[in-house]
Structure 1
Amino acid sequence: MTACRESSTSYQAADGRELPLLLFEPGDGTQPRTGIIVFHGGALREGSADGLAPHCQKLAARGIFAVSAGYRLLGHGAVSIDDCITDVRRAVEQFGRLAALRGLRAPHLASGGSSAGAHLALVAAMTAPNGPASAPEPGVAAVVALNPAGVDLGSFEPEVQRHLEHQVGIAAGRLIDYSVIRYVQPGNPPMLIHHGTRDEIEPIEGVRRFRDAMVRSGNECTLHEYEHAEHGFHYPGKGAHFDDVIDVTARFLLGRIGAR
């Protein structure tokens, strides 16, 4: 394991503002074997790129080019979840350019995140900018989701769905359009999901249904369950799962899409 080298840059949101990209790479100057960009949680209204910096530091020390990205938040530049998704797509594009400077191409890159950020990464990876009917551009070859939200939104009670629609700034009846299980089809990128069995935001049963749907469609989807863990279990010092999450994620990235 090597030290980590840190730097920062930015990418441009659709409204012209500059949003942060925190870069973490092997500190000994060796070329990274793979790369991942991650997006923080916070229900689309809170959080920052700093939130997943500890994860990126540890992954970089394993030989991975890891980037933590910010995006516009609701009430702070984003009008609806659609603005957040647009930012994620732009961040992934810039990540690809930065990775190319380090000798990495799309087949060796992943996206991911925590909670709402994981949801954004999943939607962006599984759908195309002009709608789900067309094939997504191959910006990343895999997704790593830490306690993702919005996996099976159709399973929520109607009053919960209406509340969420209001919270994320979309019209009534549109919540199901953002349920990632809806976009499962052959050819989805390989996925690794970390989820607690007592997650109070996204019940484990919905995540299991998503995993099963992915597998039935011929896709690779590994669900790593953490017994009795609640939402946000993967942060340092919260439930002692941080090291295991990093270890499993690094093995997945290096073994599944690591450059040869």
Structure 2
Amino acid sequence: MPFMMTACCESSMLYQAADGSELPLLVFESGEGTQPRAGVVLFHGGALREGSADGLAPHCRKLAARGILAVSAGYRLLGRDAVSIDDCIADVRRAVEQFGQLAASRGLEAPHLASGGSSAGAHLALVAAMIDRDGPTPAPKSGTAAVVALNPAGLDLCSFEPELQRHLEHQVGIAAGRLIEYSLIEFVRPGSPPVLIHHGTCDEVEPIDSVRRFQDAMVRSGNECTLLEYEHAEHGFHYPGNSGHFDDVIDATAQFLLDRIATK
């Protein structure tokens, strides 16, 4: 079914990171003043060391034109203001909370909100949605009711060789042996939020087999996990102009959000 396209209104605001600094929230919504039917906050990729909220602005702009409140959020980066991945996760949790307040002012409550992102940003969003500060928890406590993951990283970290695991632990600033605490497949439980994954079959960062294992684990636990595979696509395929898949990714994402969490 074709989507109704509208004008898009863009604005920006700041939210307080876990260390008290201020980080950006780029806000995209219908320019016609109509109430959005669903909302999503997205987190950029860049291996936790690069990137900015501007990276997913094209995605948010297109989603807003389909009646979805779309926000792209920044977070502290390793090598700059973040010491470890834990700082990044703490910021993402703060951003989700701020997004919830913003969405409420637009008439949207938690059951109509999703989170997500690209690559490392998708991993951060999944951690915040699936792993409570005190351990695994079902989706209702996370602040969002679904997750959209664009070529996510970190789904099955323990499948890597021990040497690579130690390298990753060093790269993200955590102690040896802690990588399992961020491997999402270990935290799949009944009640995990519905997840939509867009992934290329030739992804060189997160092998498609790892993504398939995660999907299988989710389904075995009774959760919804939709995996859309893009043949021969590599990491970052979903950006405009990279592979010609941008419009397909946006259409499928909008359909997922409007089918699963939209207001009636």
Q: Into which bin does the TM-score normalised by the smaller protein fall?
A: over 0.9
SS at match of 1:20: strand
Question: What's 2:232 paired with?
Answer: 228
CA apart distance, 1:135: 7.7
- In the alignment, the residues of structure 2 paired with residue 215 and residue 247 of structure 1 have an alpha-carbon distance, to the nearest angstrom, of 24
Paired residues for 1:21-40 under 5 Å: 21-40=25-44
Shift of 1:128: 0.8
- Deviations along 1:66-100, one digit per CA (max 9) or x if unpaired, are 00000000011110000000000000000000000
Query: What runs of 5+ residues in structure 2 fail to find an aligned partner?
Result: none
Amino acid at match of 2:170: H
Report the CA distance between 1:14 and its aligned residue. Answer: 1.4
Could you tell me which amino acid in structure 2 is paired with residue 54 of structure 1?
P
- Structure 1: how far apart are the matches of 2:121 and 2:20? 21
Query: TM-score normalized by structure 2?
Result: 0.97
> Who is 2:165 aligned against?
161
Aligned-partner residue type, residue 50 of structure 2: E
The 1-side partners of 2:121 and 2:36 are apart by 24
| Residue in 2 that maps onto 1:73 | 77
User: Quick one: which amino acid aligns to residue 87 of structure 2?
Assistant: D
- Aligned mates of 2:237, 2:225 — CA distance in 1: 20
**What residue identity is the alignment partner of 1:160?**
L
Conserved 8 A contact 2:38-2:108: yes
Is the contact made by 1:119 and 1:149 (CA closer than 8 Å) also made in structure 2?
yes
Match of 2:113 in 1: 109
- Residue 12 of structure 1 deviates from its aligned partner by 0.3
Paired amino acid for 1:120: L
- Match in the other structure for 1:178: 182
**Identity across the alignment (%):** 80
Q: 1:104 to 1:55 in 2, by over 3 A?
A: same
Map 1:187-198 to 2 at 5 A. 187-198=191-202
Match for residue 205 of structure 2 among 201, 207, 224: 201
Any conservation in 2 of the 1:126–1:136 contact (CA below 8 Å)?
Answer: no
Decide whether the 8 Å contact of 2:39 with 2:108 is kept in 1. Answer: yes
Give the C-alpha shift of residue 130 in structure 1.
2.5
Unaligned runs of 5+ in 1: none
Residue 166 to residue 213, structure 1, CA distance change in 2 (3 Å): same
Contact 1:193 1:224 in 2 (8 A): yes
Deviation at 1:177, TM superposition (A): 1.0
The whole-number CA distance in structure 2 between the counterparts of 1:154 and 1:128 is: 20
What does residue 127 of structure 1 align with?
Answer: 131
* Alpha-carbon shift at residue 224 of structure 1 (Å): 0.3
Instruction: Identify which of 246, 258, 261 aligns with 1:257.
Output: 261
Q: In the alignment, which residue of structure 1 is the partner of 2:248?
A: 244
Structure 1 residue ranges (4+ consecutive) displaced by more than 4 angstroms after TM superposition: 133-136
The reply to whether residue 98 of structure 1 matches residue 97 of structure 2 is no
Contact 2:139–2:191, Cα closer than 8 Å, also in 1: no
Structure 1 residues 45 and 138 mapped into 2: Cα distance closer, same or farther (>3 Å)? closer
